[in-house]
Every structure is written in structure tokens, then in C-alpha cells.
């Protein structure tokens, strides 16, 4: 099998520093101290692939040829994971662009790869899909962006490795994207950008589905408990938790993270650094978060400010309307910390009404 492997090295950089994305914001992300996320995710996927090859899961390394683009766009991660990729080209300059991604994928297609694996977010997915348009070359995403709404992504880097080694057939799936400027203003309007061939696998995420239904009773019950708790409360993004913020008497940041304590807002639109500054590791802190409709992610999609260091200082309360749960059978986490992911997995009580709760499993 011939695999084309490409990384968008700047994908996801804007997340933890509160930029809600990286499009047009790379310099600002760096000024705020952002660290690259995609190279780490790429290395996790390739390490997992190398481990599966070594263990003989799905074949031997003799039947897998890795083609990559130069430097941080794939070759560095591949060599660090023990592969010797065939390098087909390199980016034109320092910061990579859409054109670099499309050139890399076009070269992979010309070389007759069986699968293009890319590391990035929805914008990268759209670039890759454009480059394979008109062919039947399948694509598979390793999620590394701030918002990952498309259904062409594996749930985690390790799941991507498993799919690479085991898939047998492909199907057409959606590539979604949003306007990041609108997103920063609180408008979430995913639009279909392309339809691409993708491996058939259980470990693929679904497209985001916009939630609906009555959340007033749920929000009122959560807000009442927050007022009575005396805790520092970290309120995640999204419309469900936004209704809780409204019940508490403030509009909040619709796609950002806000902090409430002792009857007032402590931080609006917090970054990871802001959260670590206000959360006392020895005090009672709670994160209130709602899963993404259709996907079930409570951490790792759209809320990178809630980093492993932040989550470890808090209890977690999951809230979701009953109508949202009609699109979700289980919850998911992808925090960039596999040990924390393992700690979070298991059964949890999700709050679905003023007092009602439902048992859901985090997988």
C-alpha cells in the first residue's frame, strides 16, 4: 500500500490562545505564545502506525510505502517515527499555504497512492479534497484543527493509524467548513465544501449536526446549582452552555470559554493561560461542557482552551438537551493527552433537564 502523508503544521495553533482558529491569525497566535499542535498529532499517528506494523497487525512494513512532503509538512514527523519516506517535494517558504497542501496532494495522486492521510482541520480537509477532485483517491484526516466538523476525520491519531492498516473499502463523505471570522463573532454555520472518498471505518467521526430543542429547563436547573455551589465554574462554548450563561445573567462568549465565581463573571473569552491563572488547583472547580451534536465530543473539538492542564484542575459536568442526545449514542474525548483521555473514559451522568440525568459512556 502506498500512503501519501501531509501535515498542515500551523493547524490548530490558535485554539488554546483563544483565537478560535488559525486562518489569517498565525502571527497573532505566535505573539500569544501558541505552540504547534499538528506536528505532535502527526507523530502520534505515525508512532501508532509503526507500532501496528511492528506487531504484525494488518501486514508488515514491507507492503507499506510512505510518500511525504518535505520538512514540517510530513517528512520530519515520518523520520522521527522511524519511517524512511519517499519525499516528493517541499513547501515554497517558511509558513505553508493552501497551495503547498494542494501541490503535495496532487503529487501523491500522480504517484498513484492508495490513500492520502493529512493532518489538519476542516480548512486542510477542503484543500485536500480539492486536490483529489475528479479522482477516486481516498483521503483520511488526523484531527488537529480547532474546529473539526467534517466526517473525513478519524476520531483520534491512533484511530487513523488503525484505519490505515485495516480498511478494505471506501465511501463518499462530507467535507464541511465555516467562515472563521463569522465563527469568532459567534456564528456557527457549517457549509458543505466537498464530498470525498474516505475509508469505511467505525472510528470515523460524524459531521457536526446543529442542535435544537428546548433547553430552557436544563439551563435553569444548571444555573440554580451553579449559584448554590460556591465553586469556580468554567463554562464552555456552544448554544447549550450559552443558555446557562444567559440564565446566570450574562451573554458570555458564544464560542469561547467564560469563568463564573461568586455571582459574577471572572473571565470572558478565556485562553488556556487565563484559566490556569484563575483556577486554584486546591479548590473546587467545575467545567460545564456540552457535546457537539452528531459527534459527541466534549473535549478536543472547538474548545482547545480546555487543555489537559485545565481539565485536571476541575470536575466535569456534561449537559445536553434530550433532542441533542438523539444524535449521539456515546461521548468522546480527544484532549492531546492519551493518559487523560483514558482517565475520562467510562460512564458519566449527563444532565438533560432541570433535574433529569442520563448515563452516557465516554469512549
Measured CA to CA, the distance from residue 139 to residue 117 in angstroms comes to: 6
66 vs 183, which has greater pLDDT?
A: 66
CB 270 within 8 A of CB 305: yes
Measured CA to CA, the distance from residue 357 to residue 351 in angstroms comes to: 4
| pLDDT digit string, tens, across residues 284-337 | 999 999 999 889 999 999 899 999 999 999 999 999 988 888 888 899 999 999
Measured CA to CA, the distance from residue 94 to residue 108 in angstroms comes to: 21
Q: What is the pLDDT of residue 307?
A: 95
| pLDDT digit string, tens, across residues 134-161 | 999 999 999 998 778 888 999 999 999 9
Question: Cell numbers of 198, please?
Answer: 474516505
| Pairing status of strand 65-68 against strand 2-7 | parallel
Could you give the 3-state DSSP secondary structure of residue 9? coil
Cβ-based neighbours of 19, under 8 Å, separated by 6 or more: 25, 28, 29, 32, 34, 146, 184
Average pLDDT over residues 190-209: 82
Could you give the 3-state DSSP secondary structure of residue 56? coil
Q: Is the model's pLDDT at 199 over the cut of 90?
A: yes
> For the chain, what is the mean pLDDT?
88
Report the DSSP beta bridge partners of residue 349.
Answer: 359
| pLDDT digit string, tens, across residues 35-72 | 778 999 999 999 999 998 888 754 444 589 999 999 99
Percent of the chain with pLDDT over 70: 88
Q: Is the model's pLDDT at 102 over the cut of 70?
A: yes
Q: Is the model's pLDDT at 21 over the cut of 60?
A: no
Percent of the chain with pLDDT over 90: 66
Q: What is the pLDDT of residue 189?
A: 60
Could you give the 3-state DSSP secondary structure of residue 280? coil
Q: Which of 7, 2, 198 is nearest to 96 (CA)?
A: 7
Question: Cell numbers of 312, please?
Answer: 485536571
CB 264 within 8 A of CB 9: no
Q: Which residue is listed with cell 489537559? A: 308
Question: Cell numbers of 220, please?
Answer: 435553569
Q: What is the pLDDT of residue 140?
A: 98
Average pLDDT over residues 112-125: 95
Give the confidence band of 204 by pLDDT, cuts at 50, 70, 90: confident
Could you give the 3-state DSSP secondary structure of residue 77? helix
CB 362 within 8 A of CB 343: no
Q: Which of 142, 198, 176 is nearest to 293 (CA)?
A: 176
Q: What is the pLDDT of residue 81?
A: 96
263 vs 33, which has greater pLDDT?
A: 263
Torsion 292-157-100-37 (CA) sign: positive
Q: Which range has the worst mean pLDDT, 9-13, 24-28, 78-82, 232-236?
A: 24-28
Q: What is the pLDDT of residue 179?
A: 62
Measured CA to CA, the distance from residue 349 to residue 347 in angstroms comes to: 7
Measured CA to CA, the distance from residue 113 to residue 67 in angstroms comes to: 8
Question: Cell numbers of 276, please?
Answer: 490556569
Average pLDDT over residues 330-351: 94
| Pairing status of strand 332-333 against strand 297-299 | parallel
Report the DSSP beta bridge partners of residue 168.
Answer: none
Give the confidence band of 213 by pLDDT, cuts at 50, 70, 90: very low
The torsion angles phi and psi of 142, rounded to 5 degrees, stand at -100, 115
CB 147 within 8 A of CB 207: no
Q: What is the pLDDT of residue 183?
A: 55
Question: Cell numbers of 116, please?
Answer: 492520502
**Angle ∠(321,325,328) on CA atoms, nearest 5:** 150
Amino acid at each position: 500500500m502506498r500512503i501519501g502523508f501531509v501535515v498542515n503544521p500551523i493547524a490548530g495553533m490558535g485554539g488554546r490562545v483563544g483565537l478560535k482558529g488559525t486562518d489569517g491569525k498565525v502571527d497573532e497566535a505566535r505573539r500569544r505564545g501558541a505552540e504547534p499542535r499538528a506536528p505532535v498529532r502527526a507523530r502520534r499517528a505515525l508512532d501508532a502506525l509503526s507500532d501496528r506494523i511492528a506487531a504484525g497487525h494488518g501486514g508488515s512494513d514491507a507492503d507499506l510505502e510512505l510518500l511525504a512532503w518535505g520538512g514540517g509538512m510530513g517528512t520530519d514527523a515520518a523520520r522521527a517515527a522511524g519511517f524512511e519516506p519517499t519525499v516528493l517535494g517541499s513547501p515554497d517558504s517558511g509558513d505553508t499555504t493552501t497551495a503547498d497542501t494542494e501541490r503535495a496532494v496532487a503529487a501523491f495522486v500522480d504517484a498513484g497512492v492508495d490513500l492520502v492521510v493529512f493532518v489538519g482541520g476542516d480548512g486542510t480537509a477542503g484543500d485536500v479534497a480539492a486536490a483529489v477532485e475528479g479522482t477516486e483517491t481516498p483521503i483520511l484526516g488526523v484531527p488537529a484543527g480547532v474546529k473539526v466538523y467534517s466526517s473525513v476525520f478519524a476520531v483520534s491519531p491512533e484511530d487513523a493509524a488503525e484505519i490505515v492498516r485495516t480498511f478494505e473499502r471506501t465511501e463518499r463523505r462530507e467535507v464541511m467548513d465555516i467562515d472563521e471570522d463569522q465563527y469568532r463573532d459567534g456564528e456557527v454555520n457549517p457549509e458543505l465544501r466537498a464530498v470525498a472518498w474516505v475509508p469505511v471505518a467505525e472510528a470515523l467521526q460524524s459531521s457536526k449536526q446543529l442542535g435544537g430543542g428546548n433547553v430552557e429547563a436544563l439551563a435553569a436547573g444548571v444555573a440554580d446549582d451553579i449559584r448554590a455551589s460556591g465553586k469556580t465554574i468554567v463554562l464552555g462554548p456552544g448554544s447549550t452552555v450559552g443558555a446557562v450563561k444567559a440564565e446566570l445573567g450574562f451573554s458570555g462568549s458564544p464560542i469561547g470559554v467564560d469563568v463564573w465565581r461568586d455571582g459574577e463573571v471572572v473571565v470572558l473569552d478565556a485562553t488556556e493561560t487565563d484559566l490556569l491563572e484563575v483556577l486554584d488547583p486546591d479548590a473546587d472547580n467545575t467545567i460545564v461542557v456540552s457535546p457537539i451534536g452528531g459527534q459527541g465530543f466534549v473535549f478536543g473539538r472547538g474548545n482547545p482552551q480546555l487543555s489537559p492542564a485545565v481539565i485536571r484542575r476541575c470536575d466535569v459536568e456534561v449537559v445536553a438537551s434530550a433532542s441533542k442526545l438523539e444524535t449521539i449514542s456515546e461521548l468522546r474525548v480527544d484532549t492531546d493527552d492519551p493518559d487523560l483521555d483514558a482517565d475520562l473514559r467510562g460512564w458519566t451522568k449527563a444532565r438533560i433537564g432541570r433535574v433529569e440525568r442520563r448515563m452516557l459512556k465516554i469512549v
